[in-house]
């Protein structure tokens, strides 16, 4: 609507459009008024008309005046395509209605295009302006004014709706228990998404203590209260351990504070203690309200109004110790901190040939210890859920450490979870481990307790995204809840946000500790997320030097070659390391090929040993050297087949991006011609663009997101210090918007330009308006940096420079603009822990894949007393992408993937991350503003 303006101006370029637009608005009850000036102008080409809508006329309840002018020189807007979400576009007109069905019928009668959304219809007028019809009060503005004014012109029915809506949507958000990085992103998400849904959101400072204390601890949040929250670790609204909340008296006080503020929903972000508290609070709520009423601390009416309390839980915990969710907010960032520390310890340990025992957090949960062990290639880990099965674990530890030393390792690293135990439940303490290594192996051993560094620092991209998408679901859960629904816990399962019963999750979590105390370790492992056991297995298979127990019978051992294809990506070396070690542990002969397929053709092949890949988990780039050339296109396929046969390669593992996938398809086609290519071939996706079909994530994409997020944080900080500036940042991705969408969410980008949507002038214009609105709303004395991300392949016309120049000119001095091209920075230096862990898991499964598809031929050859044939398998399943699907590792054959691959644009058809796209614009405030920018434009 037209805040700050007495009317809206619409310009038609042809008389036909002018007439059609007039008819469109009159169909909805606008009445034509001609003033003296217009009467004289009516016959000229400069025709214009005033259209006025009075409150309660027709089924619309808004008041608005439109000036419609015929100006042939005006620019005609293009019609918005139906595939895109019109809700993301700048609205021209917003109209309140009590009857959306009637509006829909009318739009159909007059043939106007429209999209329906809950409580809203987005229609296009004949000039292609977006007209919003809404049966809910339109989103509150950033300025704190409401569109639905409480004046006498508003009919009672609407006032009632408005009050009911308000009453059921006052959400309190608090962070409680131990702080976790990403809690701030969760609070930001709840505040902004809540406001965008018409709710009032209150920040409850200092956790439950703030709830009990009330007063200034409960503060109404607006859009700007959470600005800059994404990048800040810990929790900016505070957390505290609160004993009073554990008592009924404390909770009674908390209930009174909520009722007095009219807050009827609570989103709690914390660990299992906090969520247990939340559930206790909700289960007692009815009794608390009755007691408050009988004590006359609240009125009867208040008691009646706030009969029910909605509680939704978000898990903020660095330990990843909550059941019913694969991952908790903060755990991944904590893992980042641990890996950074262990990486730096590795270098000093290496220099002095020392041993280090590192204690990490985790009282009942070994997730951090195990993942850190995998990601850093530690020699041994001790976790609570799976104690060493041997009574004399000390000797086992020494044997492993000694074997590693004998292979040439100069360092020994043991990671011990805080709650590590032996099979008789005796604690395994870092100091004790140190003594063993020092006394028995005479290693110069030190203990490092990482302590609170593990909680600190800016959240990793993963946690920012996780917290954001979960907070959106938390608000949705509030809006969905009824007095009968049990309190939900927002979790993650198979890469999807879930909402399940909170109490059940808390119970299962407590069951882990119980299972451990009963020495039921199998149950304890089972209660962890499904990847946990597999990752434990991958760790043992790749890190612990084998005692021959994993070795295959002689005739099943093979020669397996590994090569890197395409651009470097974080995790390529980690995957190679695990593949080499798993292969060796099974008795295979691992070969590596230098410089991709051209290297293969030249015969640049070497056999690697266990020690030669030591330390590779933390190396960025590609140790083997990677090359974009694909066989059958750039490299002769006949030569590839020749070298495969010459080196007796019986299984091939490609690590790379879309080029590697293309190579896979070419190798499949060439099988008809070359028997030596009839061997199992697998592809581990590794590319920053995450555009390989057959996987949710490719290696390197997480490292890249973190690199982008870090750079963008630095860019915004620079602007905030000196300028009102919009940075147009170019990110990689080819024709895939993955990096822009996910980094957009993680950095709080203002908007993104991605190949899936393209760029147009009208889009740019809308974005300029939006930016102007944001800068108009800022404190005039404060600088503010904003980010727009643009995927490199989005448009040849709208380059970074062009967009930046347009923004600068059209920004009318409210802000200026600069470009930033992150380029190869996006490949990242050190691979992120997530990429290292994914690499380890995928590589282990890749070796299993090769074994799976060769076993039959190898067994048959042995049974028949023949040599192993050159042609091992021709099955179409034996040439596949080894990818991640939800929590599972999947083998998806080229045959299966072909129909779902867009070869021209080099990406899979359909992508899970695209559903995050609308959130980027929504959380940057799109749709909250009205016509302030228009106002400025009119003045110029």
Binding positions for ATP are: 178, 241-242, 271-274
- Which CB sits closer to ligand ADP, 246 or 551? 246
What mask, x for binding ligand ADP by CB under 6 A, covers residues 194 to 233? --------------x-------------------------
Can you name the residues that pair with 727 across neighbouring β-strands? Answer: 787, 818
Q: What does the block give as tokens for 613?
A: 């890949």
**Edge-first strand listing for the sheet containing 114-117:** 91-96, 130-134, 120-124, 114-117
Instruction: Using CB under 6 A, count the residues that bind ligand ADP.
Output: 17
Q: Which of 246, 403, 557, 602 binds ligand ADP (CB under 6 A)?
A: 246
Site for ligand ADP in 264-303 (CB under 6 A): 270-274, 276-277, 280
Report the nearest approach of ligand ADP to the CB of residue 371 (Å): 19
Q: What is the CA radius of gyration of the chain?
A: 31
- Rounded to a whole number of angstroms, the minimum distance from the CB of residue 258 to ligand ADP is 15
Sequence-distant (6+) residues with CB within 8 A of 839 are: 571, 572, 574, 575, 578, 617, 684, 686, 699, 831
Catalytic position from the list 17, 179, 319, 696: 319
Provide the β-strand partners of residue 414: 357, 380
With vertex at residue 239, the alpha carbon angle to CA 238 and CA 245, rounded to the nearest 5 degrees, is 135
Contact 826, 707 (CB under 8 A): yes
Q: How far apart are CA 30 and CA 26, in angstroms?
A: 4
Cβ proximity to ligand ADP: between 177 and 657 the closer is 177
Residue number with CB closer to ligand ADP (269 or 575): 269
Which three-class secondary structure state does DSSP give residue 321? Answer: coil
What phi and psi values does residue 885 have, to the nearest 5 degrees?
-130, 105
- Nearest distance from residue 784's CB to ligand ADP, in Å? 34
Residue 136 or 246 having the CB closest to ligand ADP: 246
Q: How far is the CB of 247 from ligand ADP (least distance, A)?
A: 8
- Compare residues 99 and 284 and give the one whose CB is closer to ligand ADP: 284
Q: 225 vs 509, which CB is nearer to ligand ADP? A: 509
Nearer to ligand ADP, 2 or 175 (CB): 175
d(CA 181, CA 299): 40
Query: How many C-beta neighbours within 10 Å does residue 655 have?
Result: 35
Angle between helices 531-542 and 833-852 (to 10 degrees): 80
The Cα–Cα gap between 396 and 390 comes to 8
Dist. CA 9–CA 2, nearest whole Å: 10
- For Cα atoms 52, 57, 62, give the angle at the middle one, nearest 5 degrees: 65
Interface characters, 144-183, with ligand ADP (x: CB under 6 A): --------------------------------xxx-----
Shortest gap between Cβ of 89 and ligand ADP (angstroms)? 42
Closest CA to 772 of 740, 817, 718, 712: 817
* Residue 429 lies near ligand ADP (rule: CB under 6 A): no
Q: Site residues for ligand ADP, window 11-30 (CB under 6 A)? A: none
d(CA 13, CA 11): 7
Closest-by-Cβ residue to ligand ADP is 273
Q: Which stretch binds ligand ADP (CB under 6 A): 100-108, 240-248, 610-618, 719-727?
A: 240-248
Which residues belong to the annotated binding site for substrate?
317-319, 354, 361-363, 418, 446, 452-455
319 catalytic? Reply is yes
**205 near 217, Cβ under 8 Å?**
yes
185-193, 241-249, 449-457, 529-537 -> range binding ligand ADP (CB under 6 A):
241-249
Min CB(216)–ligand ADP separation in Å: 19
Which residue, 248 or 824, is less far from ligand ADP as judged by CB? 248
The answer to whether the beta carbons of residues 125 and 154 sit under 8 Å apart is no
Q: Closest separation between CB of residue 275 and ligand ADP, Å?
A: 7
How far CA 449 is from CA of 349, 394, 428, 430, 611, in Å, comes to 15, 20, 14, 8, 28
Backbone angles phi, psi at 564, to 5 degrees: -105, 135
Beta carbons of 278 and 322 less than 8 angstroms apart: no
> Shortest gap between Cβ of 175 and ligand ADP (angstroms)?
9
271 versus 566: smaller Cβ distance to ligand ADP: 271
**Minimal distance in Å, beta carbon 423 to ligand ADP?**
27
DSSP codes joined into one string, 93-136: EEEEBS-HHHHHHHHHHHT--EEEETTEEEEE-TT--EEEEESS
DSSP state of 365: -
- The two structure tokens encoding residue 532: 């946990």
At 640 the three-state DSSP class reads helix
Residues that bind ligand ADP (CB under 6 A): 176-178, 208, 241-242, 245-246, 270-274, 276-277, 280, 317
Residues with catalytic roles = 319
């Amino acid at each position: 609507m037209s805040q700050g303006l007495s009317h809206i101006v619409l310009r038609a370029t042809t008389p036909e459009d002018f007439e059609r637009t007039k008819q469109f608005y009159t169909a909805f009850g606008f009445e034509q008024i001609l003033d003296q000036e217009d009467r004289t102008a009516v016959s000229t080409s400069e025709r214009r008309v005033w259209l006025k809508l009075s409150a309660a006329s027709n089924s619309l309840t808004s008041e608005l005046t439109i000036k419609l002018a015929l100006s042939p020189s005006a620019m005609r807007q293009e019609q918005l395509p139906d595939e895109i979400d019109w809700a993301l576009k700048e609205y021209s007109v917003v109209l309140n209605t009590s009857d959306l069905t009637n509006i829909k019928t009318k739009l159909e009668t007059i043939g106007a295009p429209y999209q329906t959304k809950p409580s809203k219809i987005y229609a296009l007028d004949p000039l292609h302006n977006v007209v919003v019809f809404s049966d809910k009060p339109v989103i509150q503005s950033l300025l704190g004014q409401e569109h639905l004014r409480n004046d006498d012109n508003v009919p009672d029915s609407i006032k009632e709706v408005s009050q009911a809506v308000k009453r059921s949507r006052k959400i309190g958000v608090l962070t409680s228990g131990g702080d976790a990085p990403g809690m701030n992103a969760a609070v930001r998400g709840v505040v902004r998404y809540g406001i965008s849904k018409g709710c009032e959101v209150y920040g409850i400072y200092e956790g439950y203590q703030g709830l009990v204390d009330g007063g200034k601890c409960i503060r109404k949040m607006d859009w700007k209260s959470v600005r800059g929250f994404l990048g800040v670790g810990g929790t900016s609204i505070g957390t505290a351990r609160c004993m009073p909340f554990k008592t009924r008296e404390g909770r009674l006080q908390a209930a009174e504070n909520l009722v007095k503020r009219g807050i009827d929903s609570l989103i709690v972000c914390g660990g299992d203690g906090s969520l247990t508290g939340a559930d206790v609070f909700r289960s007692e709520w009815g009794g608390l309200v009755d007691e408050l009423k009988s004590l006359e601390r609240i009125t009867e009416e208040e008691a009646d109004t706030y009969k029910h309390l909605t509680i939704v839980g978000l898990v903020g915990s660095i330990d990843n110790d909550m059941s019913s969710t694969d991952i908790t907010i903060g755990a991944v960032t904590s893992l980042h901190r641990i890996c950074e520390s262990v990486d730096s310890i590795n270098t000093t340990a290496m220099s002095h040939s020392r041993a280090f025992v590192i204690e990490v957090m985790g009282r009942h949960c070994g997730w951090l210890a195990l993942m850190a062990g995998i990601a850093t290639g530690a020699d041994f880990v001790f976790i609570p859920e799976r104690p060493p099965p041997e009574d004399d674990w000390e000797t086992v530890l020494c044997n492993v450490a000694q074997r590693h030393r004998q292979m040439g390792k100069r360092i020994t690293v043991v990671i011990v979870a805080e709650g590590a135990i032996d099979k008789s439940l005796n604690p395994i303490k870092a100091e004790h481990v140190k003594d063993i290594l020092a006394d028995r192996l005479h290693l110069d051993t030190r203990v490092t307790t990482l302590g609170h560094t593990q909680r600190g620092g800016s959240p990793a991209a993963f946690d920012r995204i996780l917290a954001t998408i979960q907070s959106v679901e938390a608000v949705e859960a509030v809006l969905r809840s009824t007095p009968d629904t049990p309190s939900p816990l927002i979790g993650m399962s198979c890469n999807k946000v879930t909402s399940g019963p909170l109490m059940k999750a808390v119970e299962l979590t407590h069951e882990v500790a119980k299972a451990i105390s009963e020495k039921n370790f199998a149950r304890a492992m089972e209660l962890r997320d499904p990847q946990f056991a597999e990752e434990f297995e991958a760790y043992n298979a790749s890190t612990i030097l084998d005692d021959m127990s994993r070795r295959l019978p002689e005739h099943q051992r093979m020669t397996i070659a590994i090569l890197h294809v395409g651009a470097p990506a974080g995790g390529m070396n980690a995957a190679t390391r695990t593949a080499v070690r798993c292969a060796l542990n099974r008795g295979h002969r691992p070969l590596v090929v230098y410089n991709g397929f051209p290297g293969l053709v030249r015969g640049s092949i070497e056999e690697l040993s266990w020690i030669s890949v030591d330390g590779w988990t933390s190396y960025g780039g590609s140790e083997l050297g990677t090359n974009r050339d694909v066989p059958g296109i750039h490299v002769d396929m006949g030569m590839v087949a020749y070298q495969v046969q010459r080196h007796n390669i019986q299984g091939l593992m490609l690590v790379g991006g879309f080029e590697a996938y293309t190579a896979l398809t070419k190798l499949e086609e060439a099988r008809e011609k070359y028997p030596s290519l009839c061997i199992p071939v697998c592809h581990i996706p590794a590319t920053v663009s995450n555009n390989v079909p057959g996987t949710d994530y490719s290696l390197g994409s997480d490292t890249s997101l973190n690199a982008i997020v870090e750079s963008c944080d630095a860019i915004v900080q620079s602007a905030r210090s000196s300028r009102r500036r919009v940075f147009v940042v170019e990110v990689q991705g080819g024709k895939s918007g993955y990096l822009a969408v996910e980094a957009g969410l993680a950095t709080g980008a203002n908007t993104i330009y991605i190949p899936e949507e393209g760029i147009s002038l009208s889009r740019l214009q809308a974005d300029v308006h939006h930016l102007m609105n944001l800068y108009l709303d800022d404190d005039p004395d404060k600088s503010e940096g904003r980010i727009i991300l643009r995927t490199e392949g989005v448009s040849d016309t709208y380059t970074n420079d062009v967009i930046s120049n347009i923004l600068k000119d059209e920004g009318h001095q409210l802000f200026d603009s600069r470009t930033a091209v992150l380029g190869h920075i996006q490949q990242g230096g050190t691979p992120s822990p997530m990429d290292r862990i994914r690499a380890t898991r995928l590589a282990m499964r890749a070796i299993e894949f090769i074994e799976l598809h060769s076993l039959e031929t190898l067994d048959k050859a042995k049974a028949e007393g023949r040599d192993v044939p050159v042609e091992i398998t021709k099955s179409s399943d034996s040439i596949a992408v080894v990818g991640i699907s939800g929590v599972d590792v999947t083998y998806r054959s080229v045959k299966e993937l072909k129909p779902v691959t867009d070869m021209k644009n080099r990406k899979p058809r359909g992508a899970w991350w695209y559903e995050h796209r609308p959130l980027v614009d929504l959380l940057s405030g799109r749709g909250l503003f009205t016509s302030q920018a228009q106002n400025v434009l009119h003045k110029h």
